[in-house]
Amino acid sequence: MPDITKTPDATKTDVLIVGAGPVGLFAVFELGLLDLKCHLVDILDRPGGQCAELYPEKPIYDIPGWPLITAQGLVDRLMEQTAPFKPQFTFNRMIAALEKRGDGSFRVTTDDGEVFEAKAVVIAAGGGSFQPKRPPIPGIEAYEGKSVFYSVRRMEDFRGEDLLIVGGGDSALDWTLNLQPVARSVALVHRRAEFRAAPDSVNKMFALHEEEKLRFQIGQVTALSGEGGVLRSATVKGPHGEVDIPCTRLLPFFGLTMKLGPIAEWGLNLHENLIPVDTEKFQTSEPGIFAIGDINTYPGKLKLILSGFHEAALMAQAAKHYISPAERIVFQYTTSSTSLQKKLGVA
Amino acid sequence: MTKLHIIAFDGTAYDIDAENGSTVMENAIKNSVPGIEAECGGACACATCHVYVDEDWTGVVGEPEPMEEDMLDFAFDVRPNSRLSCQIKVRDELDGLVVRVPERQG
């Protein structure tokens, strides 16, 4: 019988790494030394995870050998360090499904249906996947996907609609400007008259407001009205009381938060949204699936980047053994091993 | 030691002896005050340690820096007395400070 799970266009890799934060990146290095090729999938649009998304400019003081390094600086150096191993990246995607095959390998599917075949899986997903923050507006869930959207995939979807955009950063301002010619009307709501967004966008927005081509309202959205997921208007609490703004689409841009997401549905043992592992292999309850960095838990766990690096090194040995059980792993130092130095491109 | 009174959303008061130089957020986390998440660990990068400073204390505590003000855009039900507790450093003048935790962080 033909294997119906086999898709001809699946991307093949040795190790699929879920998450391209510092620990996922360092795993590429450790696995690379053992001749394993990696493909990383991350929900963000660039490598670095929390370091890149939450605090790129912030100093880190506890990376061994670096008395001070910025979070982005660390990510840049990890990218440089892993470059010899030519890791592949898929950004803006999360892993939706994971399935173990009869031969012990894995079939992994992203949220947009791209399929990977990997010999082992490493979950280095930190605090989970970054997802848009949902504003605490009562009953907003009922409108999501119908009238409330947290991203714009196709501008055409908003043609002829009455838009209410909320936020003061670049996403809010950029979409206000880009959708203004497409939409029937645009209102922008922000809690104050100062913006984080690029000054040029802010000036353009105020100019359109002056020309009455859009409406800018200071305040915070407190309630929605409509029925069956079809939005009619939003209540905005401003400095001078409440106003009702008619709208058919609401686009809130309140930044990102971390959620465990689909990992919870992969059949792994979980403990308070963390994945328990052993401290020899950093393997999950499913052989061949490893978890390293902030997402895992074990007695004495410290959520430090340096702990994640250690976990990556030990995990790599175990993953190699899982993939090639018959092969003897010779322990070597990068300082003195010609074979390792060849892999690094320095010998 | 400086006394802090952190009042959870359900009204439970946490009376905490805080060391000068530490942040209100760190003390809230150390004492497991519900509703302070501090997702980013105190980097002023997430707005999940949002608190309301008691009206009697806003003058002493002071105004947020521009970066904190920007970050407060990500918080909800922001009021004139809103602050991120990771940006309030404990000092002698704050002895007896009262802050309230909002209904929810983002």
**Domain limits of chain B?**
2-100
**B106 pLDDT exceeds 80?**
no
Question: Does residue A6 sit within a domain?
Answer: no
- pLDDT band at residue A5, thresholds of 50, 70 and 90? low
Q: How far apart are the first and last CA of chain A?
A: 49
Question: Does residue A281 sit within a domain?
Answer: yes
Q: What pLDDT does B73 receive?
A: 86
How far apart, in Å, are the Cα atoms of A82 and each of A3, A38, A98?
A: 35, 10, 26
Lowest-pLDDT range, A127-141, A214-228, A278-292?
A127-141
Q: What pLDDT does A8 receive?
A: 56
Neighbours of B1 (CB within 10 A): 10
Question: Does residue A5 sit within a domain?
Answer: no
Per CB-CB distance under 8 Å, the chain A contacts of B78 are 191, 220
Nearest CA in chain A to B71: A196
Range of the domain at A16: 11-130+257-343
Higher pLDDT, B8 or B70: B8
Nearest CA in chain B to A220: B77
- Structural domain ending residue among the three candidates A254, A278, A296: A254
Q: Which amino acid is at A291?
A: A
Structure tokens at A126: 């930190």
Q: What pLDDT does B77 receive?
A: 85
Shortest CB distance from A254 goes to which of B43, B69, B106? B106
Per CB-CB distance under 8 Å, the chain A contacts of B70 are 168, 196
A83 CB-near residues (< 8 Å, 6+ apart): none
Q: Specify whether A295 is located in the same domain as A196.
A: no
A174 CB-near residues (< 8 Å, 6+ apart): A197, A201
Q: Specify whether A82 is located in the same domain as A189.
A: no
B63 CB-near residues (< 8 Å, 6+ apart): none
Measured between CB atoms, does B1 come within 8 Å of chain A? no
Question: Does residue A1 sit within a domain?
Answer: no
What is the mean pLDDT of the segment spanning B65-81?
88
Nearest CA in chain A to B42: A55
Question: Does residue A2 sit within a domain?
Answer: no
- pLDDT band at residue A254, thresholds of 50, 70 and 90? confident
**B105 pLDDT exceeds 90?**
no
Could you read off the pLDDT of A23-51 as tens digits, one per residue?
999 999 999 999 999 999 999 999 999 99
Contact between A129 and A297 (Cβ < 8 Å):
no
Question: Does residue A28 sit within a domain?
Answer: yes
Lowest-pLDDT range, A192-201, A246-255, B73-82?
B73-82
A182/A167 Cα distance (integer angstroms): 19
Q: Specify whether A108 is located in the same domain as A33.
A: yes
Helix A199-210 and helix A170-179, axial crossing angle in degrees, nearest 10: 40
Q: Is A18 left (phi over 0), alpha (psi -120 to 50) or beta?
A: beta
- Print burial letters for B57-96: b (CB count within 10 Å at least 16), e (below 16): beeebeebeeebbbbbbbbbbbeeebbbbbbbebeeebee
CATH of the domain at A141: 3.50.50.60
Predicted structure pTM score = 0.80
Q: Specify whether A124 is located in the same domain as A263.
A: yes
Structurally, chain A folds into a number of domains equal to 2
Alpha helices in chain B (DSSP H): 24-30, 58-61, 66-72
Tell me whether residue A118 is exposed, middle or buried, using C-beta atoms within 10 angstroms of its C-beta: 0 to 12, 13 to 18, 19 or more.
buried
Q: Specify whether A107 is located in the same domain as A203.
A: no
Question: Does residue A3 sit within a domain?
Answer: no
B2-100 — its CATH code? 3.10.20.30
Q: Specify whether A220 is located in the same domain as A326.
A: no
Question: Does residue A4 sit within a domain?
Answer: no
